[in-house]
Amino acid sequence: MDASRTRAPWRVASVTALVCAALLAFGCRAPVAPAERDAPTAGASLPLSVSDLQGQYLKVIKQVLPSVVQIQASHDLGSGVVYDGQGHIVTNAHVVGSEKTFKVTTASSEEPLTAQLVYSYPDQDLAVIRLAEVPDGLRPAAFGNSEKVQVGQIVLAMGSPLGLSSSVTQGIVSATGRTVSEGSSGGGTGATIANMVQTSAAINPGNSGGALVDLNGQVIGIPTLAAADPDLGGSAAPGIGFAIPASMVKTVAGQIIVSGKVVDSGRAALGVTARTVVDDSYRPVGAAVVTVRSGGAADRAGLRPGDVITKVGGTAVTTTTELSEALAVARPGQRTTVIYQRNGAGTTAEVTLGEQ
């Protein structure tokens, strides 16, 4: 997904947001006719008042914010979430980069603590580090089931945006199931990540690796990146951020903690490296195969270097990013069709996908 390709109808969206905010300020209650004002309300379902909602915010922040830490690498700053009582902290792979040792500031530590890298998995932009010494009062976060997340849920993003530790922003879940490709410049991993949670809560540099939390106090995602708007010079598009779903975080972090690495990625692979090819008008027209891994899915299906992939399953492929996105939503062992060009002729191959 390229979140910057089209611009949303901002004027309409802004008006809608203002209307919803106004309703919330008045308890979301519709005007009552004079004759109805004294009508009995026993058994009626009353809306959550502003004071109740604020109280819930404060409760969740008090519960979860102590589990969110600041991570300092040599030249980068990010966030992390305490995963267990043994000092394991989950964060983004792009936060740790290529470094092995970090300074971590927890809610209960007066001085930064030392942490070591356990394992980094750039393909999913996740990593686990571990504190050399576990301080008293270290509080693990509770990770929820991101498959139950619904559009419209109120969420809080917690982290250290721009180095401002223990910061909280508020928004809603704007969409689920997004497939997003991360850039490789500026320290990005270039990963294509499926099933991301889209949120309107502000995601700024330094929020990466922090916590996206629901009003039950459960982490439903790890904030990772914000959409870029080319009309704003490539800067972050306000209100469009993405978080890696908690279910994937638990799968990856759990394997790293037990095995020291990811042993079952759950991510489909074609077994090729590729590059984008363009036509005479410089429009991308496919992903040209550069190398084919021996014994991999593409090799078994008969693909060779020089073939230009134009479709995977029902998804058209004009760039390597689109190829990655098509594979990101597939599963290892899944059978699919790959359409490609060889010497100007179109060919269809049946492929059983492998695993990254």
Q: 3-state DSSP call for residue 60? A: helix
How do residues 256-305 score in pLDDT, each as one tens digit? 999 999 998 888 999 999 999 999 999 999 999 999 999 999 999 999 99
Q: What is the pLDDT of residues 81-91, one digit of tens each?
A: 999 999 999 99
Residues of the chain within CATH 2.40.10.10 domain(s) are 65-131, 146-259
Domain with CATH 2.30.42.10 in the chain: 268-355
Mark residue 106 as left, alpha or beta (left: phi above 0; alpha: psi -120 to 50; beta: remaining). Answer: beta
CATH class of 146-259: mainly beta
What kind of architecture, by CATH, is found in domain 268-355?
Roll (2.30)
| Placement of tokens 């966030």 in the chain | 79
Q: Which two tokens stand for residue 34?
A: 């004079």
Q: Please give the residue that has the higher pLDDT: either 151 or 43.
A: 151
Each residue's pLDDT tens digit, 296-353: 999 999 999 999 999 999 899 999 989 988 998 899 999 999 999 999 899 999 999 9
Going from the C-alpha of 182 to that of each of 54, 112, 123, the distances in angstroms are 34, 30, 10
Strand, coil or helix: 257: helix
What residues does 103 pair with on adjacent strands? 72, 114
User: Which pTM was predicted?
Assistant: 0.77
Instruction: Indicate if the pLDDT at residue 24 is higher than 90.
Output: no
Distance CA(48)–CA(128), nearest Å, equals 38
Query: In angstroms, rounded to a whole number, what is the distance separating the alpha carbons of residues 298 and 278?
Result: 22
- How far is it, in rounded angstroms, from Cα 269 to Cα 290? 15
**Per-residue pLDDT band at 20 (split at 50, 70, 90):** very low
Distance separating alpha carbons of residues 351 and 193, to the nearest angstrom: 22
Active site residues: 94, 125, 208
Q: Superfamily for 65-131?
A: Trypsin-like serine proteases (2.40.10.10)
Answer whether 190's CB lies under 8 Å from 321's CB: no
Give me the torsion for CA of 122, 239, 53, 81, rounded to 10°.
Answer: 20
Question: Is pLDDT above 50 for 1?
Answer: no
